[in-house]
Structure 1
Amino acid sequence: MQPILSYLRPWEFSPTVLVCCALAAAAYTRGLVLTKRTGEATGFWRPLSFFVGLGLIYIALQTYFDFLSQHMFWVHRLQHLILHHVGPFLLVLASPIGIMSRGVPRRLRERVLRPFWRNRWVQSLYSFLQNPVIAPLLFVGLIYFWLSPAIHFTVMLDEDRYRLMNWSMVVDGILFWWLMLAPRSTHGEANISYLKRILILFIVMIGQVLLGAYIFLHKSVLYDVYGICGRAWAISPMTDQQLGGLITWIPPSMMCVIALLVILRRLLHEDEATTPAHPALAGATTQKAGQYP
């Protein structure tokens, strides 16, 4: 057990990561308990999706995994796959806002969180980040930016920049997948149609494929910083880079395909919910609506 526990200990302890993950887990757990007390069904898969997503983000940031990501390019790409794609995807898939809101103490929710969220500047920033043009550009652009060889070299040697990079992956991942996967009614002014979401996912997928293929097929070493830091395992720099290119190329594309399936299912579900089962039912509904405006 001792070797296993040593791998689970934080490599570079971050109070911010611990507090954020702990508060999120506490709010969701309390909300889950209160929701069940009302008799409302919570299901099994959504809580599982939430806690798995949150757990993966914590592991990627606060265990020995973080050390490996600083000393192997392919592990770094796996870390960002978790932080930018898998973890946020699972969190959003759980649709946790309602449960978490219920789990936050009422005074804190009404006196702090709600006024903060309704602030004009916060709403303007949110609308900007959730713009259907800005959101995919930021989602793919951050990957390109942090993987620019010159930028990547300096980031991996600077602790503050390294943490900024990882946090930007988490926050942007949550924002993007929320825009893609959340029901349209939850977006407010940032709402976009499901067809636009499908188009955005195709564009994002192409951008990730091109970058991953470029890294994988490049004939020289792009990220020599790992040679300076010292690789955790004795593999050649080109093999390390090619593995990282494949991780940048294939799994994110698969995540986009899975997101497309989720959107199509939601689109069909909403169509079924708004389509009357029988013409006679439609007539009755229309008549009833006319009688009770």
Structure 2
Amino acid sequence: MGLAVDVPWELLLIVALVASIMADRQAWQKHPVLTASAGFLFFAGMYPGLDAIARHSVWLHSLQSLMIHHLGPLLMLFAGINPCRVMPGSGRVFGSTPATILVLFSFTGMTLLWLSPDLHVTLMESAGLYSLMKWGMALSGILLCNVVAGQNNAVSRDILRGVAFNIAIAAPQTAAGIYLMTSPPLYPMPGCITPPVNWLPLLDAVPDQRLGGGLLIVASGIFFFGDLMGRLRTAPEALATPT
């Protein structure tokens, strides 16, 4: 069976999403490699055939999260991709405090739901629910990209506010990753419904969970330090201006 596409309509939606992300002509002109890489990460991380295997593996849960929830949005930021750029006043909306709080809770909440032991069996048994969770992860990551872009476009470009926001995003996910790495197995692993492809290692419950936790910590670190460096690079004047 391999990585067969069981839901063609979902593949079409994914192609439409990736096309909307990569349709930014300005980003293509300035950062073609970053733009193409962001599109590839979203497509590969959301590919429907991957779900049948990832539903049964904590580390593949975390790998998908890294691709569509952290690294893809970060590459969008570096490339200057902003899907909401065509909306008048979108920078002010996404840079506002209510939008920041909403995205903070939605981004963190999707991670905790994705890793919830109480939902694990349901996610394994329901391809539709797993796909819905995956889309929630991707959309919350894109919203996060828009919020950070809005913050970076603000007149004040408050570096301290940006660092506090990054900590609020990264800290809960780092804590969740540490918890996964140090806890006994939290998830039942009854075996894959779909036979795994021969290049994908199947891990026992303990290393599977530890690798998943480690990937979550790496994802949080990549976003925190990557976005921080981006803020410092695009707003050096904020360091010399008292707030």
TM-score (norm 1): 0.67
Amino acid at match of 2:235: L
Residue 230 to residue 266, structure 1, CA distance change in 2 (3 Å): same
Does the aligned pair in 2 maintain the 1:212–1:247 contact within 8 Å? yes
Count of paired positions: 234
Q: Which has the higher helix share?
A: 1
Q: Do structure 1's residue 218 and structure 2's residue 187 form an aligned pair?
A: no
Q: Do structure 1's residue 227 and structure 2's residue 191 form an aligned pair?
A: yes
Higher relative contact order (CA closer than 8 Å, sequence separation 6+): 2
**Residue equivalent to 2:145:** 177
Residue 226 to residue 267, structure 1, CA distance change in 2 (3 Å): farther
Amino acid at match of 2:188: D
Residue 225 to residue 195, structure 1, CA distance change in 2 (3 Å): same
Gaps of 5+ in 2: none
Aligned mates of 1:85, 1:54 — CA distance in 2: 13
Residue 137 to residue 170, structure 1, CA distance change in 2 (3 Å): same
What are the equivalent positions in structure 2 for 1:97-176 lying under 5 Å apart?
97=82, 131-176=99-144
Q: Do structure 1's residue 48 and structure 2's residue 33 form an aligned pair?
A: yes
Does the aligned pair in 1 maintain the 2:34–2:76 contact within 8 Å? yes
Amino acid at match of 2:186: L
User: Which of 53, 56, 69 is matched with 1:68 structurally?
Assistant: 53
Q: Which moved further from structure 2: 160-169 or 60-69?
A: 60-69
Q: Do structure 1's residue 193 and structure 2's residue 158 form an aligned pair?
A: yes
Does the aligned pair in 2 maintain the 1:11–1:62 contact within 8 Å? no
Aligned mates of 2:228, 2:181 — CA distance in 1: 26
Does the aligned pair in 2 maintain the 1:132–1:192 contact within 8 Å? no
Shift of 1:90: 0.8
**Residue equivalent to 2:71:** 86
Post-superposition CA distance 1:182-224 (Å, at most 9, x none): 5643x69xx97332111111222221121001111102x2121
Shift of 1:239: 1.2
Post-superposition CA distance 1:116-174 (Å, at most 9, x none): x78xxx99x96889533332222222211221111232123212211111111111111
Does the aligned pair in 1 maintain the 2:159–2:238 contact within 8 Å? no
Shift of 1:271: 6.8
Aligned mates of 1:127, 1:85 — CA distance in 2: 19
Gaps of 5+ in 1: 1-5, 37-41, 102-113, 275-293
Shift of 1:82: 0.4
Amino acid at match of 1:211: A
Match of 2:235, SS state, is helix
Does the aligned pair in 2 maintain the 1:68–1:76 contact within 8 Å? no
Residue 156 to residue 130, structure 1, CA distance change in 2 (3 Å): farther
Bigger radius of gyration: 1
Match of 1:55, SS state, is helix
User: Which of 14, 17, 33 is matched with 2:14 structurally?
Assistant: 17
Amino acid at match of 1:163: S
Aligned mates of 1:203, 1:271 — CA distance in 2: 21
Shift of 1:23: 4.5
User: Which of 50, 53, 58 is matched with 2:43 structurally?
Assistant: 58
Cα-Cα RMSD = 3.6
Amino acid at match of 1:148: S
